Amino acid sequence: MDIHTLTLAEAGKQLKQKKITSRQLTQAVLQRLKSVEPQIQAFLSIAEKTAFTQADEADRRIAEGGDISPLTGIPIAIKDNICTADAATTCASRILENFHPPYDATVIAKLRRAGVVFIGKTNMDEFAMGSSTENSGYKITRNPWDRERIPGGSSGGSAAAVAADAAIAALGSDTGGSVRAPASYCGVVGLKPTYGRVSRYGLVAYGSSLDQIGPLTKDVKDSAIMLNALAGHDPQDSTSANVPVPDYTSACGKDIKGLRIGIPKEYFAEGIDPEVEQLVKNAIRQMESLGALPIEISLPHTEYAIPCYYICAMAEASSNLARYGGAHYGYRAKNAGNILEMYSKTRAEGFGTEVKRRIMLGTYVLSAGYYDAWYLKAIKARTLIKRDFELAWEKTDIIAAPVVPAPAFKIGEKSADPLTMYLSDIYTISLNLAGMCGISIPCGFSKKGLPVGLQLIANIFKEETLFTAAYAYEQSAGFFNRKPPL
């Protein structure tokens, strides 16, 4: 058997039973990575040497016995906007081309302590601004199921790597769907935890009130194992929640009899691809056959989610990205005569077009005379969107919806008009505005053989409900056994 295809749970078990070593597993995964990388282009850097050092250290820990984490010796890929001490962290931007963070993000420190093997950093839309990974300053990642198509974004490299078995699991970040959407397009499981569930310390900030780190995995149980390791309060992130962390894996395997599943009618309105609609509805029927109770609900402000989200995200981005000016780290333009010229030339040469657009629009909606009309209006709309969910939780335990309106589109198809790209985020962004948790799990394939995801959404800090429902569905549907043609 090819051990690079193992799930995290299976690989962890075999490591613990000493059937395989972390060195063998790391070797197999890196070999797979190298053989598929020319086709999918998922990685910005590969850490072969340090990976083997970490693998040997994990093998030593396992040989000694004692307290072994389910993640000890597991090869994992990291999105390139999560700081890894002394290893390049570029955010797929030219402005951070040679940036080596002086510290680890909290999630990296946690995984390091658990004995994870870090195999490399994955491609993404520059500063996580995009829905296709086409906005990378370095390369375009391809969908393992059809290499003419996008893997989704912005965590496209992480999703493609896991789908292609070039990593056992990966970390991404989700500001408006950037974990869930690529998971759906690539046929893997992607989790956006509740805002504050996972520390953002060391995650390069895009929209600070929306950003959340989440795992991309081969199945639901692996996602629960990863969240166990990632979740928890962090004094370094004052927005991280001081809420107890349960064992999420024990939520997998509980039955869903009587679980109320809300179906938001606005998520099945015009704009949804008929195949996606059919597959998501089939999945809901499947859950009904397991004893769940579907009910129609309404999230009436859904049509305002895109403008609301983009105004909030751009405003926060314009402030967060002000730090890149060429003074302290990153790229600096040559031959600047004065400080203003240094800032404005550095930023003009270092940022890509989409990042510049968002910085300018964010600056505009926050600027004197326009703040009330745009930014204040948007954060009031955010209250209405959040209230929609709060009312829904009075009637339902979980919400089932599509993740994206259609299967993966072709590379270049939506590049000309940024608005058409923004519209593909319609089903994922409301959660970030409201802070809710959500998961994308495979629920079938289009006629062209492209994966389609089902999105399950739960109230804040109700990840256990998500895992219970997602695991029950996954076990009865079994789509995680299908592999892309690579």
Q: Which residues are catalytic?
A: 79, 154, 178
Task: Single out the residue of 48, 60, 253, 348 in contact with other proteins (rule: CB under 8 A).
Answer: 348
Convert residues 145-174 into a mask of x (bound to other proteins by CB under 8 A) and - (unbound).
------------------------------
The distance of closest approach from Cβ of residue 381 to other proteins in the complex, given in angstroms and rounded to an integer, is 5
**386 makes contact with other proteins (CB under 8 A):** yes
Size of the site for other proteins (CB under 8 A): 75
Q: What is the DSSP letter of 266?
A: G
Q: State the DSSP H helix or E strand holding residue 275, giving kind and residue range, or none if neither.
A: helix 274-289
> Nearest CA to 172 among 137, 209, 143, 131?
131
* Residue whose CB is less far from other proteins, 334 or 447: 334
Q: State the DSSP H helix or E strand holding residue 453, giving kind and residue range, or none if neither.
A: strand 451-458
Structure-token match 């998961």, residue found:
439
Q: Are 37 and 166 in contact (CB under 8 A)?
A: yes
Task: Single out the residue of 19, 327, 390, 449 in contact with other proteins (rule: CB under 8 A).
Answer: 327
Specify the 3-state DSSP secondary structure of 384.
helix
What CA–CA distance (Å, rounded) separates 76 from 199?
18
Region from 15-23, 180-188, 337-345, 469-477 binding other proteins, contact rule CB under 8 A: 337-345
**244 makes contact with other proteins (CB under 8 A):** no
Region from 180-188, 217-225, 256-264, 418-426 binding other proteins, contact rule CB under 8 A: 418-426
Chain residues 275-304 in contact with other proteins, contact rule CB under 8 A: 301, 303-304
**241 makes contact with other proteins (CB under 8 A):** yes
Task: Single out the residue of 9, 114, 229, 434 in contact with other proteins (rule: CB under 8 A).
Answer: 434
The distance of closest approach from Cβ of residue 419 to other proteins in the complex, given in angstroms and rounded to an integer, is 6
Chain residues 91-150 in contact with other proteins, contact rule CB under 8 A: 98-100, 102-103
> Nearest CA to 362 among 210, 464, 187?
210
**341 makes contact with other proteins (CB under 8 A):** yes
* Residue whose CB is less far from other proteins, 267 or 310: 310
**339 makes contact with other proteins (CB under 8 A):** yes
What CA–CA distance (Å, rounded) separates 181 from 75?
23
Chain residues 457-476 in contact with other proteins, contact rule CB under 8 A: 460
* Residue whose CB is less far from other proteins, 113 or 323: 323
What residue type is 20 in one-letter code? I
> Nearest CA to 364 among 355, 356, 376, 374?
374
* Residue whose CB is less far from other proteins, 384 or 406: 384
Q: State how beta strands 117-122 and 451-458 pair.
A: unpaired
**330 makes contact with other proteins (CB under 8 A):** yes
What CA–CA distance (Å, rounded) separates 164 from 434?
32
What CA–CA distance (Å, rounded) separates 330 from 343?
12
**200 makes contact with other proteins (CB under 8 A):** no
Structure tokens at 305: 């989610």
Q: What is the DSSP letter of 75?
A: E
Q: Are 243 and 457 in contact (CB under 8 A)?
A: no
The distance of closest approach from Cβ of residue 220 to other proteins in the complex, given in angstroms and rounded to an integer, is 25
**361 makes contact with other proteins (CB under 8 A):** yes
**209 makes contact with other proteins (CB under 8 A):** yes
Task: Single out the residue of 56, 345, 371, 406 in contact with other proteins (rule: CB under 8 A).
Answer: 345
The distance of closest approach from Cβ of residue 241 to other proteins in the complex, given in angstroms and rounded to an integer, is 7
Q: State how beta strands 75-79 and 169-173 pair.
A: parallel
What CA–CA distance (Å, rounded) separates 305 from 311?
10
* Residue whose CB is less far from other proteins, 50 or 344: 344
What CA–CA distance (Å, rounded) separates 457 from 223?
15
Cβ neighbour number for residue 237 with a 10 Å cutoff: 18
* Residue whose CB is less far from other proteins, 434 or 470: 434
